[in-house]
Amino acid sequence: MNRELAKEIILSLVIVLSQLLIFNHMKLFGTVDTFIYVSLFILYKTTYNKTYLILFGFLVGLIIDLSFQTYGAHTLASITVCYLKERIEKYSFGVNSTLPLAMIRGTQLTNRVTYFFLIIFIHSLIYFSLIFFKFEFTLTIFLYTLINSIINFIIIWVISKLIFDK
């Protein structure tokens, strides 16, 4: 158990560091920011304490905010998806939502896609709403959210495959 935990902590550190050192400096197609750190919340085991997840989300979000100079947009998006994670799991997996890990083999692909996409979409929506923060940018917010969600979904999906197939 302790070994597993240590492994996960190291994995989290690697993801956060790669976000800070690599993905923060990448802007795909000139507009898309890559937020691979969201994968941490997606892959956080359902059996772990939800309160810790919210605190963990706050900590990660704060680190990203400080590096991005976004003054809390990442933090709020992160703690919100962490808080809503349980509901999103229930919505996406239905009766299988109590399974120890969302990415467990055997779950339906559509369920997994829904789960991934919902978390990424909600995160992006909150993030861009706070970044633009004006009603007249509503359309822009939705456009950015949609494009970012799709691109980030693909990236996070690939990363999670790499981690778990290993």
Contact status: 15 vs another protein (CB under 8 A): no
> With respect to another protein, which residue has the nearer C-beta, 133 or 164?
133
Asked if 142 is part of the footprint of another protein (rule: CB under 8 A), the reply reads: no
- Considering the rule CB under 8 A, would residue 152 count as an interface residue with another protein? no
Query: How far is residue 132's CA from residue 156's CA, in Å, rounded to a whole number?
Result: 24
Rule CB under 8 A: say whether 79 interacts with another protein: yes
Tell me whether residue 42 or residue 54 sits nearer to another protein (CB atom). 54
Site for another protein contains 83 (CB under 8 A) = yes
HSE-up of residue 78 (Cα within 13 Å, Cβ side) = 27
Does residue 85 contact residue 50 with C-beta atoms inside 8 Å? yes
Helix, coil or strand: residue 107: coil
Choose between 77 and 151: whose C-beta lies nearer to another protein: 77
Nearest approach, Cβ of residue 136 and another protein (Å): 12
* Helix ranges (DSSP H) in the chain: 2-21, 38-43, 50-68, 73-93, 109-132, 138-165
- In this structure, how many other beta carbons lie within 10 angstroms of the beta carbon of residue 53? 22
Q: What's the closest the beta carbon of residue 131 comes to another protein, in angstroms?
A: 9
**13, 26, 27, 133: which one binds another protein (CB under 8 A):** 133
